[in-house]
Structure 1
Amino acid sequence: MDRISELPNDLLVKILSFLPTKVAVSTSILSKQWDFRWMWWLPKLEYTISCYSKSECERLKCFLDRNLPLHRAQVIESFRLGFYYPHFEPGDIRLWVLTVVSRCVRGVEISYYSDYKNKQDILPSNLYTCKTLVTLKLYGPILVDVPRMVCLPSLKTLRLEEMVYSSEDSLQRLLSNCPVLKDLYVKRRACDNVRRFIVIVPSLKRLTFLEGDYLDEIVVKTPSLKYLKLEYFNSKIPHCLIENMPKLREAYVDFNFPILERLIGSITSVKRLTLCQVDN
């Protein structure tokens, strides 16, 4: 018997967890005992296409379709997927995400690289009721269509970069059903169907909001906030309601002057403040 096979199972899994997924897969040639072990127990799964190669995307698709349903870890610590348009069908990605959600996934990160404006409906509805999800990071023109039944009781970190929302209510509905959310990062894109940015999250400690299009209203009610970064460059001045943040320690604000006037009274507890005024 080879020496690798003599190692305890827990140690083998620990070793594999430090390797990139592609490398972990290749370990199946080292020992019969290692054959498919990555697929059964590996807690961190990362699949990223680093080029526009259609053949590489097709190989990854076949690989995931065949092997992901066989994964046997009780908990998937993280699932990362990066892909280019248009080599994956939305239905394929929905199925993969649905699979990892059924394995009690704790972290999901999806990056959709595209030079096109078309949005992709790739998120299954069960993602919005995943009780184990702690971190959710989405990048690119992914459609966020939040169902009426949504509850993410463990979600602490949410990052949304250049999403497209099915309606204005989707973002608000999502945020209002994350009772322990600590860190929120939102970077908007033009024509994302959001005109009112409303954040009412008592548990939130970090908020970053980067404007990508004009807004009609900004509402921020985050009494536990410690870090704030707001950027808004559009010439259209939205109505602002920003309540007092007594625990705020650091703030970076890059807004038009009328918004700065409305904000300044809500951040009196800040210890470190950076202000940038936009002249129009």
Structure 2
Amino acid sequence: MISNLPDDIKYKILELLPVQEAVQTSVLSKQWCHKWASMPTIFVSELNCVSPTLGDTYAPRLEKFVDKLLLLHKGPLKSFQLFTGQCRPPAFDQWMRVLSRLGIIDLHWVLVNYEVEYRIPSIFFSFDALETVYLCNFLLKVPQHFNGFKALRSMELLKCTSTTADLTKQLSNCPVLESLVLISMKVSIGLKIRAPRLKMLIINGSFAYVQLEAPMLANAKILLRNSDTCCLGKNGGKSNLEEALGSLVHIEKLKMKEDFVKYLAKGCLPDHLPYMFNHLKKVSIKLNFHRFKEIRVACILFHNALNLQDLYILADPSTLTKEEDPSTFTSFWDTEASHGLVFNQLKTIFMEQYEACEPILAFVKLILGSAPLLEKMILRESTIYEEDENGNLTQITLDLDKSTKASTKAAIIFE
């Protein structure tokens, strides 16, 4: 009965098997003989191909198995996924050449525990049909004749090495790229991303600068480390804030983690950004309320995000220096309130590592007084408040409850 199923269902069955077992189905009957050779998807993992107990013959046997797997495949091959920590670069070169002839659409290639990145051969950049790419531990050197991945919609690069110029060239030649993930990349200088159709972006790593030209970007998560090594803007004297966020006119969700706000605060800050973020509804930000330029970055963003509905803040625990006066930060928020900083659409605010210090209290009271639709304010304290001998909360909590509220439904919840 199974043998009489349509070919597309047989392929689905084969794809669910470990690839070695899928090849072994050739012995079942004539109807299954070499059926695996037309599978549109091949997933190769060392864990289910060759027994690691083979010792010194482990890698050669695995390479020989993959050689035959690809050379006997009748194609077209839509998806090829390889997870290996043992195979050697000469074998990779051979497999890339074979894949170039099979019309590959989806490529997942993960090199595990490799101390030296494998330089991907230039033939990879001629894969015209590629729509999805996931690469781990590769050295990317873009050839001069590269004309772009015209069909590529999704790219994920993990622990890959490249130069700023090569990465920029690669991304700029992907006209329909919609999703981009860059994790622990080793880039010579910084990131310059030009992607007119990009909708989703995740950046996690250390870069000297971040320039974004992605007007259709809707969802972005940027985690930037080592802000002390970051430099000022490179694009015609623009500030880091303008270069990174200034053109994101369609952004809906924005997460700014680790040192990214520190980076945005470097140099001279503009009074405002050139475009409004009318689609921005969710913001997640790590913010130090004791650093003037960082809270200015947040204010510029809030002024341009009139439809903000959900706000998550991780309060940086850094404290004031001896030279700083906390009243300066308190008056800053009072000034912003008088300049029309309001949160007319805000419904939820969650603050992690909340502390009852003057700068944070001033900001919280600004929210309470200018958010008519606010439903919930959750304050998760870095130090748990103690009750007095009568079981009452400290006076600072009671003061918030008595603060002027623009919303009659606003609930203040301490965790």
Normalization by structure 2: what TM-score?
A: 0.59
**How far apart are the structure 2 equivalents of 1:9 and 1:245?**
46
The answer for the alignment partner of 2:202 in structure 1 is 208
Query: Could you tell me how far 1:171 is from its partner in structure 2?
Result: 0.8
Between the aligned partners of 1:109 and 1:267, the Cα distance in structure 2 is: 38
Percent of aligned pairs sharing the same letter: 24
Q: Secondary structure at the match of 2:193?
A: strand
Q: Distance in 2 between matches of 1:238 and 1:208?
A: 21
> Contact 2:26–2:35 at 8 Å: present in 1 too?
yes
Q: Over the residues paired in the alignment, what is the CA RMSD in angstroms?
A: 2.5
Aligned amino acid, residue 219 of structure 1: Q
Could you tell me which residue of structure 1 aligns to residue 122 of structure 2? 125
| Partner residue of 1:236 out of 206, 214, 229 | 229
2: CA distance, partners of 1:257 / 1:204: 22
- Secondary structure, counterpart of 2:225 in structure 1: coil
Residue aligning to 1:31: 29
Cα shift at 1:31:
1.4
The equivalent of 1:252 in structure 2 is 255
Question: Any gaps of 5 or more consecutive residues in structure 2?
Answer: 233-239, 289-315, 319-415
What residue in structure 2 maps to residue 69 of structure 1? 71
- Alignment-derived partner of residue 100 in structure 1: 99
CA 1:113–1:92: 2 relative to 1, 3 Å: same
Give the SS at the match of 1:245: coil
Match of 1:110 in 2: 109
1:275 corresponds to: 285
Provide closer, same or farther for how the CA distance between residues 16 and 115 of structure 1 changes in structure 2, counting only shifts above 3 A.
closer
* Structure 2 residue matching 1:232: 3-state secondary structure: strand
Counterpart in the other structure of 1:181: 177
Q: Deviations over 1:62-99 (max 9, x none)?
A: 1122231121122x121011111xx3221211211221
Separation in structure 1 between the aligned mates of residue 8 and residue 256 of structure 2, nearest angstrom: 48
User: 2:192 is matched with which residue?
Assistant: 198
Amino acid at match of 2:201: L
Partners of 2:35 and 2:153 lie apart in 1 by: 30
Matched, 1:82 2:83: yes
Q: Which moved more, 1:171-180 or 1:7-16?
A: 7-16
* Aligned-partner Cα distance in 2 for 1:42–1:233: 43
Write the distance in 1 (CA, Å) between the matches of 2:213 and 2:141. Answer: 24
Aligned length, in residue pairs: 266
Q: Which has the higher helix share?
A: 2
1:128-167 map, 5 Å: 128-140=125-137, 142-150=138-146, 151-165=148-162, 167=163
Please name the residue that 2:13 is paired with.
Answer: 15
Change in 2 beyond 3 A, CA 1:153/1:54: farther
Q: Residues 7-30 of structure 1: CA distance to partner in whole angstroms, max 9, x if unpaired?
A: 444443343234342331221222
Higher alpha-carbon Rg: 2
Distance 1:169 1:257, change over 3 A: closer
User: Which string of whole-angstrom CA distances, capped at 9 and with x for unpartnered residues, describes residues 14-69 of structure 1?
Assistant: 43234342331221222133122102x10111111239765443222111222311
Alignment of 1:43 onto 2:47: no
Amino acid at match of 1:222: A
Secondary structure at the counterpart of residue 229 of structure 2: coil
Separation of aligned partners in 1, 2:93 and 2:123:
10
Supply the AA of the counterpart residue of 2:183. K
Distance 1:112 1:249, change over 3 A: same
Structure 1, unpaired ranges of 5+: none
Deviation per residue, 1:251-279 (Å, 9 max, x gap): 11013444344699467331110001376
Give me the whole-angstrom Cα distance separating, in 2, the residues matched to 1:182 and 1:69: 33
Mean Cα deviation higher: 250-259 or 199-208: 250-259
Pair 1:256–1:171, CA change in 2 (3 A) = closer
1:25 match: secondary structure: helix
Cα deviation per residue 1:91-149 (whole Å; 9 max; x = unaligned)?
21121122122110110011111162x2212x232221212100010112x11111112
Amino acid across the alignment from 2:66: L
CA distance in 1, matches of 2:43, 2:167: 27
Distance 1:200 1:8 in 2: 44
| Contact 1:256 1:277 (C-alpha < 8 Å) held by counterparts | no
